[in-house]
Amino acid sequence: MSRRKFMGLAGGALGMAAIASMGVAGWAANKLEIDPEALEYLENETDVLIIGGGMAGLFAAVKAHDAGAKTLMVSKGRLGSSGETPFAKGIFAYDPSTTEMSLDEFTDGVSRSAIGTNNPIYTRQMAEHSLDRVNELREWGFFDSALYNKSFSKPIEERNIDLLERIVITNLIKENGKICGAAGFSLDEEKVYIFKAKSVVLCTGAGGFKPNGFPICDLTHDGTIMAYNIGAKVTGKEWNDGHPGQATNSAACFDGWHGMFERVPSVESVGIRHDLGVDLNYMAYTNGNPVQMGPPGASESKKVVGGPYVPAEFSQRGPDKHDDGPKDGPKDGKHPRGGKPGEGGKDGEAGSPPGMGGVSVGGSSAGMAIHKSEGLVPINDKCESTIPGLFAAGDALGSYMAGAIYTQIGSSLAGSAVQGGIAGKAAAEYSADKKIPNISKTKIKEIKEEMLAPLHRTEGYSPAWVTQTLQGIMIPNFIIYIKKEGLLKAALAYIEELRDHHIPMLKAADLHELRLAHETVNMITTAEMKLKASILRTESRCSHYRLDYPETDKENWQAWINIFKGEDGRMKFEKQAFDSWPASGKPLEYI
């Protein structure tokens, strides 16, 4: 008997629980591990509440604090070790002293590659402030280690900013038309938290459908959906991040990235591209498997006709490295049309030899849109959402900084840092003349009941199974990537079934499963948004490709799609013209 087995026996009940949690059972009685009635209830007060502990959250907390606000940071994971931040290894810095391109030229270049889908104000803002943020990061030791917790902790500890980790926020709280806090529960202690805050900055990242091959399984659009639920406008759900994964051991994101997670971060300079779209998906759709990346030129033998449009200026792939961490894709298998695959991994490291990608499969980032093209709709350049006091930064903000296609390597990390800083400062300024809001007892009771409901269900469906079913519906290439109306509607029928019949029956036996239950709800809501927005957008552009509408429609679709919850609780849509801020217009009718 090994020590492990011995300890398993010693663990007794715990071990059994582990086994039980592994099973993906469709229907089973809910054997509770904790007593939901005995949960402790805690209240906290702060000026600015930062939700999320990644790059955006870091700068939001630091800059809110530096602007004089009492700041509290709360994260589902650990500072610098959750979301996508830990895996992003390239950060863009626009250095005016070494860059020939002016800020305006850079912004215009991005707009051309993004076919107008970017918000030039945010594009320019990212570049303008990037060097300052990079310099601060350097001071904190960010570039000295492959792991970010230490460098992120430095400014937080120096400033004595309150930090609560492993708290799952499930609800944003709005009363009298304004944000007044958030609620969540601890994963480790049996505690429910209510945070009263003058303003909230969502730094919750974007998300996916817990896809395999990408380290985003803790990102399930939580912030976006929480904000949507209290009436915020969100955007960008039709876009896709087209990262492929490897066919062998598709689930192993560490191995699929050939050691990149172990690299220390580096600074990227200007180089505008048109990346992470769905061209490989189109190639796989038309030609079938295997989609294998050969040496440069090898793929010319199998010409692909049609497919996503790439502006001529950006279709010639340079030989530059393509290594921005997961934010930019595995180095292999990313350049479908005669492009040069980047360097492979180190020799002998799980996969392809240098310069030769292995067989690729799609969907490794399924459910995620291009960085910063999805999330809360900003009403100005201060990362402010449509709800007073609610801000968002980084991938949680639909700023369209890069547009609906990825345009600058390392800009996602830089953009998160820049927007975090701006949102934090703006939230502090907003909070300056406000009082700590009061949250009514009825509201708190209502939220608590909703939050803990899966623990109270004696029968129902396990979140793991519902998520797996959702993945089966959404991830196929012919649903989420290579779209056509019939199949989008077919998938929508399934999603509506999950929404109407399965969400109300999600059960959880412990706090881990309670987290999964909430994540599952957020993913299902996101799936509905993605399908409906994709049906609405009857054109193809950037990372949205409709087989039945393959052309870019510059007459009707020079616009983003905003999504919001109507008075009747139904999902509503509106167009917001590119280059404009949201205005309350007539909602689009979804058929």
Partner 1 sequence: MSIESIDGCIGCGICVKTCPTDVIRMDPVTNKAIIKYPADCQICHLCRMYCPVDAITISPEKSIPVIVSWG
Partner 2 sequence: MGMIMENRIRLYNGIAAAAIFLGLPILFFVLGDFPERSILKNGLSLLTIIAFCMMLAQFYLARSNKNILKAHKMGKIVKYHKFIGYTFIAILFFHPFLIMLPRYFEAGVDPIDAFTTIITTFDSTGVILGIIAWCLMLVIGISSLIRNNMGMTYKTWRVFHGILSIAFLVIASWHVIDLGRHINSSMTIYIIILAGIGILLLLKTYFIKSSKPSGETK
Write down the least CB distance from residue 361 to partner 1, Å: 4
Q: 121: exposed, middle or buried (C-beta count within 10 Å: 0-12, 13-18, 19+)? A: middle
Report helix, strand or coil for 49. Answer: strand
CA atoms within 13 A on the CB side of 319: 4
284 makes contact with partner 1 (CB under 8 A): yes
The site for partner 1, by CB under 8 A, has a size of: 67
Sign of the dihedral through C-alpha 154, 158, 161, 164: positive
Nearer to partner 1, 241 or 384 (CB): 241
Closest CB 362 distance from partner 1, rounded Å? 3
Q: Which does 264 bind (CB under 5 to 8 A by kind): partner 1, partner 2, none?
A: partner 2
In the chain, % helix, strand, coil (3-state, to 5) comes to: 35, 20, 45
| Close Cβ partners of 515 (under 8 Å, ≥ 6 residues apart) | 76, 168, 187
Q: From the CB of 518, what's the least distance to partner 2, in Å?
A: 31
What is the spatial distance between Cα 134 and Cα 154, in angstroms, rounded to a whole number? 15
Q: What is the pattern of x (binds partner 1, CB under 8 A) and - over residues 480-519?
A: xx------------------------------x--xx---
d(C-alpha 128, C-alpha 110), whole Å? 14
Between 2 and 160, name the residue whose CB sits nearer to partner 2.
2
Q: Which residues lie near partner 2 (CB under 8 A)?
A: 1-3, 6, 145-147, 150, 261-264
Question: Does 17 sit near partner 1 (CB under 8 A)?
Answer: yes
Distance between CA atoms of residues 90 and 324, nearest Å: 4
**Binding of partner 1 by 540 (CB under 8 A):** no
Rounded to whole angstroms, how far apart are CA atoms 142 and 205?
20
Q: Considering beta carbons, is residue 289 or 380 the nearer one to partner 1? A: 289
Amino acid present at 40: E
Q: Exposed, middle or buried by CB within 10 Å (0-12, 13-18, 19+), for 367?
A: buried
Instruction: Give yes or no for residue 558 binding partner 1 (CB under 8 A).
Output: no
Separation between Cα atoms, residue 134 and residue 176, nearest integer Å:
39
The binder of 583, among partner 2, partner 1, none, by C-beta within 5 to 8 A per type, is: none
Return the one option of partner 2, partner 1, none that residue 1 interacts with (CB less than 5 to 8 A, by type): partner 2
Q: Is 369 in the site for partner 1 (CB under 8 A)?
A: no
Q: Phi, psi (5° rounding) for residue 61?
A: -65, -45
| Among 366, 370, 405, 423, interactor with partner 1 by CB under 8 A | 366
- The Cα-based distances of 86 to 262, 276, 553 in angstroms read 10, 19, 38
User: By CB under 8 A, is residue 103 in contact with partner 1?
Assistant: no
Which distant-in-sequence residues (6+ apart) come within 8 Å of 119 by Cβ? 378, 399, 400, 401, 578, 579
The phi and psi torsions of 99 (rounded to 5 degrees) equal -100, 130
Cβ atoms of 359 and 290 closer than 8 Å:
yes
Closest to partner 1 by CB, 59 vs 261, is 261
Only one of the segments 41-49, 356-364, 425-433, 532-540 lies at the binding site for partner 1 (rule: CB under 8 A); that segment is 356-364
Q: How far is the CB of 161 from partner 2 (least distance, A)?
A: 21
Residue 154 corresponds to which tokens in the numbers above? 């430095």
Q: Does residue 33 bind partner 1 (CB under 8 A)? A: no
Q: Could you say which of partner 2, partner 1, none residue 44 binds, taking C-beta under 5 to 8 angstroms by partner kind?
A: none
Q: What angle do CA 21, 25, 26 make, to 5 degrees?
A: 140
Cite the DSSP H helix spans in 339-462.
411-431, 441-456
Q: Which is nearer to partner 1, 94 or 214 (CB)?
A: 214
Nearest partner of 373 among 394, 403, 409, judged by Cα: 403
Shortest Cβ 5–partner 2 spacing (Å): 9
Q: Does 281 bind partner 1 (CB under 8 A)?
A: yes
263 binds, among partner 2, partner 1, none (CB under 5 to 8 A by kind): partner 2
If one asks whether residue 164 binds partner 1 (CB under 8 A), the answer comes out as no
Alpha-carbon span 389 to 369, nearest angstrom: 25
Taking CB under 8 A as the binding criterion, the range among 100-108, 141-149, 501-509, 529-537 that sits at the site for partner 1 is: 141-149
Q: How far is the CB of 267 from partner 1 (least distance, A)?
A: 22
Asked if 545 touches partner 1 (CB under 8 A), the answer is no
Nearer to partner 2, 330 or 363 (CB): 330
By the rule CB under 8 A, 400 interacts with partner 1: no
> Between residues 237 and 258, which has the closer beta carbon with respect to partner 2?
258
The DSSP annotation for 195-257 comes to EEEEEEEE----B-S--TTSS-TT-BSHHHHHHHHTT--EE-TT------EESTTTT-HHHHT
Q: Closer to partner 1 at the Cβ: 192 or 280?
A: 280
Alpha-carbon torsion, ordered 508, 514, 518, 523, to 10 deg: -70
Residue 494 binds: one of partner 2, partner 1, none (C-beta under 5 to 8 A by kind): none
Shortest spacing between CB 385 and partner 1, in angstroms: 25
What is the Cα–Cα distance from 361 to 251, expressed in whole angstroms? 11
Using CB distances below 5 to 8 A depending on partner kind, what does residue 379 bind out of partner 1, partner 2, none? none
Q: Which does 401 bind (CB under 5 to 8 A by kind): partner 1, partner 2, none?
A: none
Could you say whether residue 452 binds partner 1 (CB under 8 A)?
Answer: no
Binder of partner 1 out of 130, 224, 373, 477 (CB under 8 A)? 477
Which residue in 492, 394, 552 sits closest to 55, CA to CA?
394
Rounded to 5 degrees, what are φ and ψ at 205? 70, -170
The binding site for partner 1 (CB under 8 A) comprises 4, 7, 10-12, 14, 17-18, 21-22, 24, 77-78, 81-83, 86-87, 146-147, 149, 165-166, 187-188, 210, 212-213, 215-218, 245, 247, 249-255, 261-262, 281, 284-285, 288-289, 291, 350, 361-364, 366, 464, 468, 471-472, 475-477, 480-481, 512, 515-516
